[in-house]
Amino acid sequence: MDVFVARQPILDAAQDVFGYELLFRSNAQSNFFDGQDRDHASARVIDRSLLTFDWVSLTRNKRAFINVTRRALLEEQVRVLPPQATVVELLEDIEPDEPVVAACAALKRGGYLVALDDFQYRPEYEPLLALADIVKVDFKIDQSEAARALHVQRLRPRGVRLLAEKVETREEFAQAKALGYALFQGYFFARPEILSTREVSGNKLSYLRLLQQFQSDEIDYERIGQIVKGDMALSLKLLRFLNSAAFGWRSRVENIKQALVLLGERPLRRWACLVAFAQLGGDQPGELVRLSLVRARFCELLAPEVRLPGEELKLFLAGLLSTVDALIGRPLKEILGGLALPPAVKAVLLGGPSPLADAFALALAYERGDWGEVARLGQALRLDEAKIPKLYEQSLAWAESIFAAT
């Protein structure tokens, strides 16, 4: 299914792009919000920005302004987005009560910028103003120069950046700059541009979210538990997988929490990535998934043999994700852009320089029977070629047992 997001630039006084506001759109023809539930629209923009579109291509390495409702704010939905690249924009109907202020303070501590949309001053907004980085003033509401100037007089001494939105003429832009507004948005510069892509099916989104969580520096066990519990099929498959012979627990694993505790961080990263990946290929030929598992294990086993101790997980991920574009049906670069992978893994998958490159190339060469290339790479890596067939046999046997368990 095709999905859509509108992107409108936000400029500075020199008319350079400061960021983009990302807006929900239900189709390619309606370049405006069509009245759907605001909570739904907020959640869909967050979800699509990270998991459906390529984040870097969507934002062009600028900040993304994301509208949030009270519900989206309190549920911390926006925290899946990178803090250094996200401006959390509070919609004008959010009341500044204690939970809202506390949520904004937490976002600030996490590195996010906070913006207030369609701002109209009221004394009860003081706690939010103390946290706001950007305040957006609607030039269609505040149409007089005096009203526009009053916002500047009130807010600039606080260090808040004023953003003039719905600027539609050169005169309005010139006036806003003269008054001291720092940022500008409106039809005078550009209408929202509608972007589209193919959406990943719902169950695959769960698996992509799971993969993404395990590429972070620190594992958020609570978030992982929520993702797994939110997908019944994934929960059952994960428990079945953990109870397989591949683990050899002395007692059965009965729940997700127990599984997370039993596995520990390093094994959890590896095994959960494997489970998620295997399910991503649910509607693809089994041989493609089996090939990915064999390749991942083969790359992992090669690591200590080619003097890359401690890099087993990275090589495992490189092998595992090397076919993810075929499994999901989207370009590899786009998929990897949404996963916080180690740089060495991302580089080797995209054909760039990486310390993993020769080992990864050796695995691929052995798969396709390019014995001349295997010999050349084996010599460069100082690998005893006699060991390679045995490592590959072990990979085949391991993948077969895992494939059966998933």
User: What is the rounded CA–CA span in Å between residue 326 and residue 318?
Assistant: 15
Does residue 85 have a pLDDT over 50?
A: yes
User: What is the rounded CA–CA span in Å between residue 82 and residue 198?
Assistant: 22
User: What is the rounded CA–CA span in Å between residue 117 and residue 354?
Assistant: 44
Q: What digits encode the pLDDT tens for the residues 359-387?
A: 999 999 998 888 999 999 999 999 988 89
Helix (H/G/I), strand (E/B), else coil: 216: coil
User: What is the rounded CA–CA span in Å between residue 97 and residue 215?
Assistant: 35
Mean per-residue pLDDT over the chain, rounded: 78
Q: Are 262 and 249 in contact (CB under 8 A)?
A: yes
Q: Are 303 and 315 in contact (CB under 8 A)?
A: yes
All domains of the chain in start order, with CATH: 2-198 (3.20.20.450), 202-405 (1.10.3210.10)
Does residue 30 have a pLDDT over 50?
A: no
Q: What digits encode the pLDDT tens for the residues 202-224?
A: 455 566 666 666 655 666 777 77
Scan for tokens 């009341």, then name that residue. 95
191 burial type by CB count under 10 A (0-12 exposed, 13-18 middle, 19+ buried):
exposed
User: What is the rounded CA–CA span in Å between residue 4 and residue 208?
Assistant: 19
Q: What is the pLDDT of residue 101?
A: 94
Q: What is the pLDDT of residue 326?
A: 76
The set of residues, in sequence order, having a beta carbon less than 8 Å from that of 41 and lying 6+ positions away, is 24, 33, 67
Residue 167 corresponds to which tokens in the numbers above? 């600027």
User: What is the rounded CA–CA span in Å between residue 198 and residue 3?
Assistant: 6
Q: Among 7-11, 100-104, 304-308, 368-372, which range has the highest average pLDDT?
A: 100-104
Q: What percent of the chain has pLDDT over 90?
A: 25
Q: Are 385 and 373 in contact (CB under 8 A)?
A: no
Query: C-alpha distances in angstroms, 65 versus 58, 272, 311, 337, 371?
Result: 12, 32, 37, 19, 52
Does residue 23 have a pLDDT over 60?
A: yes
DSSP assignment string, 333-366: HHHHHTS---HHHHHHHTT---TTHHHHHHHHHH
CB-facing half-sphere around the CA of 111: CA atoms within 13 A = 9
Query: C-alpha distances in angstroms, 259 versus 220, 240, 246?
Result: 14, 11, 14
Q: What digits encode the pLDDT tens for the residues 255-285?
A: 666 666 666 666 666 666 666 665 665 555 4
